[in-house]
């Protein structure tokens, strides 16, 4: 029984969001699909113990969830005054063709649905992170520095809007695609970032999220090979290539300068760099292409000492003009410090913090602490590290900062 339960839990971790996406397409109802999903996994524990694990667990679970939803609608039709509507929904569901062939594309359909322009802009990303990536409301709230109740309310309103407005569950046609692209790219990158550097928890990375974001990026690239799609896919591939070296065997955080570059994935780096060159050659590149170009400069350096920081600072200058952002300013400050010394970086970071920006962003305080440490300003470094420690919710980062504080002592 324990082996079957472990297998069910594995399938849930790896495939539950794809299964949910397909059930939402089949049922046209987020809440009914979620109920059907959990019912299907509950049945799987018993049936798979008795009959064995099916050859295609994902298809089995979608089919089981669909039949469970039909049972729910039948029960509702007996007791509700809206019986004709429910019966029509039930008949449509029973007659729907379910071959299991469209499952791979369903998460991309779901992303475009969650990013539909009819939905409030501040609801699109939380809804996608909740439904596509299974992030909790609390995790999403932390990522957006918002209250969980506010995030939950946005998600509920967005689901109701999709239901009431009958927003189609489909990838838009080519004529509509460009105007819908920005929000979809943003969501896919947020999914990747949550996997590459988790907002909370015991592990630095969640590889199931990075893999899924890259898979969605590849699907989007097939659908619309625009420069920014290439840029985003390249950026994710280049970051992902470094993931094996970002933690020690014991799970401790390893900074970029200290990483064993022989662990970097050469195949992903080569693919990412080729996409960067292809995107930049169009001369229609945007923020994702520029960020990917910065990542490519890191990838091409044989060692930390060989990194072309002058080129990286120049790329950040262009990126800042395209997308003014205090986080990009912070990243540029780190690059300037690498080029011109810790004091130059510290002055830039203090300027950002002095404007009241990034006060609650732990990486800003970590960077300030690091520059103070390098300059021998021990008490300032200690205070900045302590502030960063108060703000971070990720255990490997907490252990790293605690180690730095011990070094200061």
pLDDT tens sequence across 220-262:
888 778 899 999 999 999 999 999 999 888 888 899 999 999 9
Predicted confidence at residue 163, as pLDDT, reads 86
Contact of 183 with 158, CB cutoff 8 Å: no
Predicted confidence at residue 103, as pLDDT, reads 45
Domain membership of residue 163 (yes or no) is no
Predicted confidence at residue 77, as pLDDT, reads 63
Q: Which CATH number fits the domain that encloses residue 401?
A: 1.25.40.10
Alpha-carbon distance 269 to 47, whole Å? 44
Predicted confidence at residue 138, as pLDDT, reads 87
Contact of 213 with 197, CB cutoff 8 Å: no
Predicted confidence at residue 4, as pLDDT, reads 83
- Select from 67, 100, 133 the last residue of a domain: 100
Q: Which two tokens stand for residue 104?
A: 């791979």
Given a cut of 80, whether residue 303 has pLDDT beyond it is yes
Given a cut of 80, whether residue 83 has pLDDT beyond it is no
3-state per-residue secondary structure call for the chain: CHHHHHHHHHHHHHHHHHHHHHHHHHHCCHHHHHHHHHHHHHHHHHHHHHHCCCCCHHHHHHHHHHHHHHHHHHHHHHHCCCHHHHHHHHHHHHHCCCCCCCHHHHHHHHHHHHCCCCCCHHHHHHHHHHHCCCCCHHHHHHHCCCCHHHHHHHHHHHHHHHHHCCCCCCCCCCCCHHHHHHHHHHHHHHHHHHHHCCCCECCCCCHHHHHHHHHHHHHHHHHCCCHHHHHHHHHHHHHHHHHHHCECCCCCECCHHHCCHHHCCHHHHHHHHHHHHHHHHCCCCCHHHHHHHHHHHHHHCCCHHHCCHHHHHHHHHHHHHHCCCHHHHHHHHHHHHHHHCHHHHHHHHHHHHHCCCCCCCHHHHHHHHHHHHHCCCHHHHHHHHHHHHHHCCEHHHHHHHHHHHHHHC
Domain membership of residue 264 (yes or no) is no
Give the tens place of pLDDT for each residue, 150-206. 999 999 999 999 988 888 887 777 777 777 888 889 888 988 888 887 666 666 677
- Domain total for the chain? 2
Give the tens place of pLDDT for each residue, 271-295. 999 999 999 999 888 999 999 999 9
Domain membership of residue 375 (yes or no) is yes
Predicted confidence at residue 1, as pLDDT, reads 57
- Select from 62, 84, 100 the last residue of a domain: 100
pLDDT > 70 in the chain, percent: 90
Domain membership of residue 385 (yes or no) is yes
Predicted confidence at residue 341, as pLDDT, reads 97
46 vs 144, higher pLDDT: 46
pTM: 0.75
- Select from 65, 100, 135 the last residue of a domain: 100
Query: Average pLDDT for residues 298-309, to the nearest whole number?
Result: 95
Domain membership of residue 357 (yes or no) is yes
- Of the pLDDT bands very low, low, confident and very high (cuts 50, 70, 90), residue 86 is very low
Give the tens place of pLDDT for each residue, 203-222. 667 777 888 889 889 988 88
Query: Average pLDDT for residues 109-126, to the nearest whole number?
Result: 87
Predicted confidence at residue 101, as pLDDT, reads 47
Predicted confidence at residue 270, as pLDDT, reads 97
Q: Which residues of 192-227 are buried (b: 16+ CB within 10 A; e: fewer)?
A: bbbbbbbbeeeebbbeebbebbbebbebbbebbebb
Domain membership of residue 107 (yes or no) is no
Domain membership of residue 353 (yes or no) is yes
Predicted confidence at residue 200, as pLDDT, reads 63
Given a cut of 50, whether residue 116 has pLDDT beyond it is yes
**Residue linked to tokens 């990009």:** 328
Domain membership of residue 409 (yes or no) is yes
Domain holding 348, by residue range, is: 324-409
Calculate the average pLDDT of the chain.
87
């Amino acid at each position: 029984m324990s082996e079957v339960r472990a297998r069910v839990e594995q399938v849930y971790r790896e495939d539950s969001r794809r299964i949910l996406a397909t059930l939402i397409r089949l049922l046209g109802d987020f809440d009914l699909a979620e109920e059907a999903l959990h019912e299907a996994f509950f049945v799987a524990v018993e049936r798979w113990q008795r009959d064995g694990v099916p050859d295609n667990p994902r298809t089995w679970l979608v089919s089981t969830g669909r039949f469970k939803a039909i049972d729910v609608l039948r029960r509702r039709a007996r007791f509700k005054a809206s019986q004709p509507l429910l019966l029509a929904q039930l008949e449509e569901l029973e007659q729907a063709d379910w071959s299991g062939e469209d499952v791979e594309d369903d998460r991309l359909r779901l992303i475009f649905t969650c990013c539909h322009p009819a939905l409030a802009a501040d609801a699109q990303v939380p809804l996608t992170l909740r439904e596509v990536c299974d992030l909790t409301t609390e995790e999403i709230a932390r990522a957006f520095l918002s209250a969980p109740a506010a995030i939950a309310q946005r998600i509920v309103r967005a689901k109701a809007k999709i239901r009431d407005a009958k927003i189609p569950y489909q990838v838009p046609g080519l004529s509509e695609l460009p105007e819908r692209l920005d929000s979809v790219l943003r969501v896919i990158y947020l999914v990747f970032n949550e996997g590459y550097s988790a907002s909370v928890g015991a592990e630095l990375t969640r590889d199931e999220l990075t893999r899924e974001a890259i898979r969605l990026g590849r699907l989007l690239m097939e659908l619309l090979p625009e420069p920014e799609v290439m840029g985003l896919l390249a950026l994710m591939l280049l970051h992902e290539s470094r993931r094996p070296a970002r933690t020690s065997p014991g799970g401790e955080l390893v900074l970029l300068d200290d990483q064993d570059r022989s662990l970097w994935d050469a195949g992903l780096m080569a693919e990412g760099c080729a996409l960067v060159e292809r995107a930049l050659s169009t001369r229609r590149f945007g923020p994702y292409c520029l960020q990917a170009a910065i990542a490519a400069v890191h990838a091409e350096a044989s060692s930390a000492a060989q990194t072309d920081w002058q080129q990286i600072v120049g790329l950040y200058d262009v990126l800042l003009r395209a997308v003014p952002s205090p986080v990009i300013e912070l990243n540029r400050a780190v690059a300037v410090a690498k080029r011109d010394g810790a004091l130059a970086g510290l002055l830039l970071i203090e300027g950002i913090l002095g404007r009241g920006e990034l006060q609650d962003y732990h990486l800003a305080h970590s960077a300030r602490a690091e520059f103070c440490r390098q300059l021998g300003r021990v008490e300032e470094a200690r205070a900045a590290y302590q502030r960063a420690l108060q703000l971070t919710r990720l255990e490997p980062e907490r252990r790293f900062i605690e180690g730095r504080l011990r070094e200061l002592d």
